[in-house]
Structure 1
Amino acid sequence: MRLPDLEAWAIFAAVVDARSFSGAAESIGLSKATVSKAVSRLEAQLGQSLFHRTSRRLALTEAGRPLAEHARRIVAEARAAEEAARDAASTPAGSVRLAAPMSFGIANVAPLVADFLTLHPGIQIDLHLSDARIDIVAEGFDVALRIGDLADSSLRARRLCGIATHIVAAPAYLAASGTPRHPSDLSQHRVLGYSNIPGPWHFRKDGEPEVTLRPTGPLIANSGDALVPALVAGLGIARLPGFIVGPMLSDGRLVAILPDWTPPPIGLHLLTPPSPLRPQRVEALIAFLSQNLRDPCAGAVLPASDLPVSADA
């Protein structure tokens, strides 16, 4: 049985990431000729071209695009195996790249990162806060926290807990426009949209059929914090997670409406790349986040023990 050409696969992954043969050669310390020969060797073994080559541009072929993902996994698993062997005889050390949503990350993840670094002084955290749906494999993240439903993918996912959401408005808006008594009333109101909770709104109440609707309004944003000024100014109604609106509900700037109709909680998930092989420092961070993000967070997070858990990371 012929063994796979792992060196050629690793070089192919380097070319994909560098987007050029010369860039890959520089990044891995080989000559451009060696890099080119390795890719040509792999193409010959596979019986198909991996790149479209011109004097100005290098692009993956239709066949090369899915194989690039396999190449990245091969390299990632090899690195993880090497690091696991080294870590077995040492305390966790090195860098971990962590991605999290912006508002939730500032309020809940950043304080935990500080606690984690106190416990593990040999580890460095590269924390990336963004509400964009990043590709954690392509962008080289070890761990990502994501709120909301997950699309089918090869990523490993663990549901940590459910985050409560609230339908809220300013007292001034309700005084001027009336208070909705039933979810269907929202179709007659100005609604501010939080695009990180996509899809229709669902409402449940004991003894009543579930209500589903798609309210519309004058503002939509991918950051819940960006909706708050318009909400407080009395410009509409919004559905937002408790970690954003909790303080304003407490001080009366916002009011929760439709209290008998419960929007289902949105899931907080921990995602990792497909490989089960991970360095000790990454395993330490996963364990720490999994434990500390299972607890209620100022009434904004529901315990994970009350919710089903997906395929474990």
Structure 2
Amino acid sequence: MRLPDLEAWAVFAAVADRQSFSGAAENIGLSKATVSKIIARLEAQLGQSLFHRTSRRLALTEAGRPLAEHARRMVAEARAAEEAARDAASSPSGTVRLAAPMSFGIANVAPLVAEFLVRNPAVDIDLHLSDARVDIVAEGFDVALRIGDLADSSLRARRLCDIATHIVAAPAYLAAAGVPQDAAALAHHRLLRYANVTGNWRFHGPGGAEVSIRPDGPLIANSGDALVPALLAGLGIAPLPGFIVGPHIATGALVAILPDWTPPPVGLHLLTPPSPLRPQRVEALIAFLAERLRDPCAEAVARRSDLPSSPDV
């Protein structure tokens, strides 16, 4: 039985990531000529080209693109196996790359990262906050937190909890435009939209009723926090998570309406690359986040029933 050419797959992954033979060579400590020979060897073994080569550009072929993902996973699993062996006799150390949504990350994740670092002084965390969906494997993240539905993938996913969503508006807006009595009435109001939620808004109501509306209004933004000033200015209504609007509800600057109508549950998920092999520092952060992020979510859901009902305006 011929063993797989693991060296060639690792070099292929480096070239695919750098999109350059010279860049990969510098990164892994080989000469450009050696890298080129290794790629040629792998292409001969596979019987197909992995890269389109021009004088100015290097790009993966149709065949090369899915194989690059396999190569990255091979390298990641090999590194994880080596680190797991080293970690077995030591405390967590090294760098963990963590991705999280912007608003949730600032409010809920950043304080936990600080606490984790105090407890684990030999660990460094590279925290990436963005509402854009990162490619965990391709971008080299160890852990990602994601809010919302998950697309089918080979990533390992754990649902931590549900995130409470509140339909909110400023008292001034409700006084001027009226308080909608059910979700269908939202179609006649100015609605502020979060860009990462596409399509119609869906709501579940009393007796199993379901309503779907097409939102329309003066503002759409790719950050939930960016909608808050417009809400406070009385420009419309928006469904937003409690970690964004909770403080404004508490002060009365925003009011939660339609308590009997709720959007579908939105889950907070913890994602990791496909391999079950993870360094000790990654396992430690996963366990810490999974434990600590359950309570804030549970409290947010519990507070949903304590919110004031629609105002009489």
- TM-score calculated relative to the size of structure 2: 0.94
1:297 deviates by 4.5
When residues 302 and 22 of structure 1 are mapped into structure 2, their CA distance, relative to the original with a 3 A threshold, is farther
Unpaired runs of 5+ residues, structure 1, are 304-313
Confirm whether residue 23 of structure 1 aligns to residue 23 of structure 2: yes
Amino acid at match of 1:207: G
2:155/2:271 contact within 8 Å kept: yes
1:118 deviates by 1.2
Give the secondary-structure state (helix, strand or coil) at the position aligned to 1:199: coil
The residue number in structure 2 matching 1:61 is 61
Confirm whether residue 133 of structure 1 aligns to residue 133 of structure 2: yes
The residue number in structure 2 matching 1:252 is 252
Amino acid at match of 1:224: G
1:162/1:302 contact within 8 Å kept: no
Distance in 2, matches of 1:43 and 1:58, equals: 15
Distance in 2, matches of 1:12 and 1:152, equals: 26
Instruction: Show CA shifts across 1:9-63 (max 9, x none).
Output: 0011111111111111111111111101110000001000000111111111110
1:95 deviates by 0.3
Distance in 2, matches of 1:224 and 1:188, equals: 22
Distance in 1, matches of 2:203 and 2:60, equals: 46
Unpaired runs of 5+ residues, structure 2, are 304-313
Structure 1, 289-298 or 269-278: larger mean CA deviation? 289-298
Cα RMSD of the aligned pairs, angstroms, is: 1.4
1:6 deviates by 0.3
The residue number in structure 2 matching 1:149 is 149
Confirm whether residue 160 of structure 1 aligns to residue 160 of structure 2: yes
Give the secondary-structure state (helix, strand or coil) at the position aligned to 1:296: helix
**What aligned pairs does 1:108-123 form with structure 2 within 5 A after superposition?**
108-123=108-123
Give the secondary-structure state (helix, strand or coil) at the position aligned to 2:48: coil
1:243/1:297 contact within 8 Å kept: no
Distance in 1, matches of 2:62 and 2:28, equals: 26
The residue number in structure 2 matching 1:223 is 223
Amino acid at match of 2:262: T
1:203 deviates by 1.8
Give the secondary-structure state (helix, strand or coil) at the position aligned to 1:99: strand
Instruction: Show CA shifts across 1:110-169 (max 9, x none).
Output: 111111111111100111111111111111110000001111111111100000001100
Structure 1, 205-214 or 178-187: larger mean CA deviation? 205-214
The residue number in structure 2 matching 1:78 is 78
1:208 deviates by 4.0
- Give the share of equivalent positions with the same residue, in percent: 81
Confirm whether residue 46 of structure 1 aligns to residue 36 of structure 2: no
The residue number in structure 2 matching 1:273 is 273
Structure 1, 259-268 or 87-96: larger mean CA deviation? 259-268
Give the secondary-structure state (helix, strand or coil) at the position aligned to 1:27: helix
The residue number in structure 2 matching 1:308 is none
1:190/1:218 contact within 8 Å kept: yes
Equivalences, count: 303
Distance in 1, matches of 2:176 and 2:70, equals: 58
Amino acid at match of 1:123: V
2:161/2:297 contact within 8 Å kept: no
Distance in 2, matches of 1:196 and 1:294, equals: 24
Distance in 1, matches of 2:223 and 2:258, equals: 23
Distance in 2, matches of 1:30 and 1:302, equals: 57
When residues 149 and 234 of structure 1 are mapped into structure 2, their CA distance, relative to the original with a 3 A threshold, is same
